[in-house]
Structure 1
Amino acid sequence: MIRTNIDIRRSKERFQTEIPWLESRHSFSFGHHYDPKNTHHGLLLVNNDDIVRPGTGFQTHPHQDMEIVTWVLDGELEHKDTLGNAGIIYPGLAQRMSAGRGIWHSEMNPSGDREVHFVQMWVLPDTEAIDPSYEQLDINRELDRGGLVPIASGRGHQAAIRIGQKGAVLWGGRLKPGESVRLPEAPYLHLFVPKGAVTLEGAGRLEKGDAVRLTAAGTPAVTADLASGAEILIWEMNPQSAP
């Protein structure tokens, strides 16, 4: 039986990467940042909050056997990969790359004077060594209606990109000041606040960059700050067996 737990992780507690072209905050172990007690939550292995300087970015590099979702908050991010996909990712455009047996891609800031701020998230796939694939979908209209909207889903939600993991759904919300939503019920939830601030029922106030790892915690309410509102990202995860 899964024990109920609400584990708050403050922004300042995250691993940090600071180099001339990149400011990155890592919610879990990543690269040379390693803590054996902080490698994942449920199916979620990576939650990187990245700011990339103008005209720079991640040069062509490989991935394998991972479902990768990129969510831009401000600015634009240019994607190119070895499948021939190329385009600009902007706020409200959900993007998914299934690395499968192997794919190479680059992620660059095409602007000459504006930073790009985005969150990149990795979840484990259902099946390894599949054909790599790519998908993107503009869901701004759905987000503007309020509430929670499925961004990426392994369960066939409408208005969501597809991921190869039946046990995971990524929900997003652009909450207006004072707007409240309830978290979905699942064995594992990961709530991240990339913009604004919220109050989580039973846990208190969460500022920009804060996260909460919930385990069998029911459906607590999240309420956006009365002044700033908030943007939130929620992974709902029902793994058969967490790693």
Structure 2
Amino acid sequence: MDVRRAGERYRGGDPAAGIESLHSFSFGPHYAPDNLRFGALIACNEERLAPGAGFDEHRHSHTEIVTWVVEGELTHRDSTGRTSVIGPGGLQHLSAAGGVRHTERNEGTIPLTFVQMWLAPLEPGGFPAYEAVPALAGSTRYAVPEAGALLHVRRLEARDRTAVPDAPYVYVHVVRGEMLLGGQRLGPGDAARITGGGGLEAEVLRDAELLMWEMGAG
């Protein structure tokens, strides 16, 4: 188990424009050749947008983009004509496939925080697709078959325990709260990268929200 602390993440974005970004992997101008990906996961960004701030239209291709909204509302528009507004506890999945353009903005009146995760698809090409899930229950699985991955969402109370998936690659991201995992204490923004970790269990110390990726060997 390789634990990466919140304070170790690369800070990006454009603070003057109301955009603060925290990157867990090599990203943009921050090139880290030893931190390009883990399993299918190639990015895990925490984005904080002030009211009125956002990302203007830009292009993606050959990437599965899954976004989890923590606070505020995320307005999404893309070149396929889709528009959605996702609030806390909601998820969106943009399959960029052969290419798509989109915008992401905070058109609300309060700050917006979301966690955006990029995964490499098993096969390139295809046609773009989009799905919005306005609200997920506290114990839910969301499949991204294009990347051979499964996202486990867990909302847990203090003293709860939850099993960590048994898979070639498991990525655990703590959205909020605290827990013990493999003898290590993890807090908000911390992450654990696990290989060959069958039988692991997380013990919640303070009410927590976890995102856990279960990924194959590729």
TM-score (norm 1): 0.86
Cα separation, 2, equivalents of 1:131 and 1:13: 36
Select the residue among 159, 163, 178 that pairs with 1:182: 163
CA-to-partner distance for each residue in 1:65-103, whole Å, 9 max, x for gaps?
Answer: 100001001110000000010010112222100001110
Q: Is the 8 A contact 2:69 2:90 kept in 1?
A: yes
Question: Secondary structure of 2:58's match?
Answer: strand
Q: 1:215 Cα shift?
A: 0.7
Cα separation, 2, equivalents of 1:138 and 1:80: 15
Number of equivalenced pairs: 216
Cα separation, 2, equivalents of 1:31 and 1:109: 22
Q: CA RMSD in A?
A: 1.2
Q: 1:111 Cα shift?
A: 1.4
Question: Which residue matches 2:29?
Answer: 32
Percent identity over the alignment?
A: 39
2:181 matches 1:208 = no
CA-to-partner distance for each residue in 1:98-122, whole Å, 9 max, x for gaps?
Answer: 001110000000113x110000001
TM-score (norm 2): 0.95
Select the residue among 55, 70, 77 that pairs with 1:73: 70
> Measured at CA, do residues 77 and 139 of structure 1 come closer, stay the same or move farther in structure 2, by a change above 3 Å?
closer
Question: Secondary structure of 1:224's match?
Answer: strand
Question: Which residue matches 1:229?
Answer: 207
CA-to-partner distance for each residue in 1:118-148, whole Å, 9 max, x for gaps?
Answer: 00001111221100110112343x32xxxx4
Q: 1:39 Cα shift?
A: 0.7
Aligned pairs (5 A) from 1:111-126: 111-112=108-109, 114-126=110-122
Task: Tell me which amino acid in the other structure corresponds to 1:133.
Answer: A
Question: Secondary structure of 2:7's match?
Answer: helix
Question: Which residue matches 1:91?
Answer: 88
- For structure 2, the residue ranges without an aligned partner over 5 or more in a row are none
Question: Which residue matches 2:151?
Answer: 170
- Structure 1 segments of 4+ aligned residues over 4 angstroms from their partners: none
Cα separation, 2, equivalents of 1:96 and 1:16: 24
Question: Which residue matches 1:7?
Answer: 2
2:144 matches 1:153 = yes
Question: Which residue matches 1:159?
Answer: none
Task: Tell me which amino acid in the other structure corresponds to 1:232.
Answer: L
Question: Which residue matches 1:238?
Answer: 216
Q: Is the 8 A contact 1:42 1:237 kept in 2?
A: yes
Question: Secondary structure of 1:12's match?
Answer: helix
Q: Is the 8 A contact 1:8 1:212 kept in 2?
A: yes
CA-to-partner distance for each residue in 1:139-182, whole Å, 9 max, x for gaps?
Answer: 43x32xxxx4203332xxxxxxxxx22x2111111111221100
